[in-house]
Amino acid sequence: MVKVIKKYKSIYMFIIIVAIIGILSGYIYGKYQPIDNKELIEKSINIEEILSNSTNNTVLYLKKNLKITLLSLTPITAISNIINIYYEPFTIGFIINTFSKYPIKFKIIFLNIYYIIPLLFTLLIIKNSLGITYEITKKIVKKDKNNKTKKLIKKQILLIIMSLTYELIIWLYSGLINNYLIKII
């Protein structure tokens, strides 16, 4: 694993830096919203209602992961995957700012379980999809015989399965997690 990180250090650094910029800019964007907008957002987010419902996001994440994978088939559509490296953390930064009135323990548990860990899976899937795009382009342009596309597609499928397994586990245990979070509030 360390060899892989060293080999693709520049790609991982790019993803980390863009994700951090996304989180910070989302947080700052949420912080400087007009008071009317903040009140409207807080009214529309009823966290007790969200926690009382056990929602299954598995299908949502499956669609999202398949979309990322399909967008990796051509270099032009892969640009949207690069944009997602910024957009996904941006929304988390905005949510962090929105939840500023809740206790820190609640925010840490809620955000990690429902947003940060799925974000990590999404970023890994995007990184792998960019590798697929690169290999497909290399095969077309250079007529490269030593292509790693099959290996990357297998890795992509494994990442998607891991992401879906995580979502299923969260769905199964969401009742317990949500009850604990309600007690914290």
What local confidence, expressed as pLDDT, does residue 42 receive?
Answer: 74
Least confident residue range of 47-51, 133-137, 175-179? 47-51
* Contact in structure between 55 and 174 (CB atoms under 8 Å): yes
101-111 confidence digits (pLDDT tens): 888 998 899 88
pLDDT, tens only, 82-132: 898 999 999 999 988 888 888 899 889 988 998 899 999 999 999 999 888
Q: What percentage of the chain carries pLDDT values higher than 70?
A: 92
Kindly state the tokens that stand for 1.
Answer: 């694993």
- Identify the weakest region by mean pLDDT among 24-33, 74-83, 101-110: 74-83
Greater pLDDT, 7 or 71: 71
Closest CA to 8 of 134, 115, 154: 134
The pTM for the full model equals 0.85
Per-position DSSP letters for 80-146, written without gaps between them: HHHHHHHHHHHHHHHHHHHGGGS-HHHHHHHHIIIIIHHHHHHHHHHHHHHHHHHHHHHHHHH--SS
Task: Give the pLDDT confidence score for residue 54 in this predicted structure.
Answer: 65
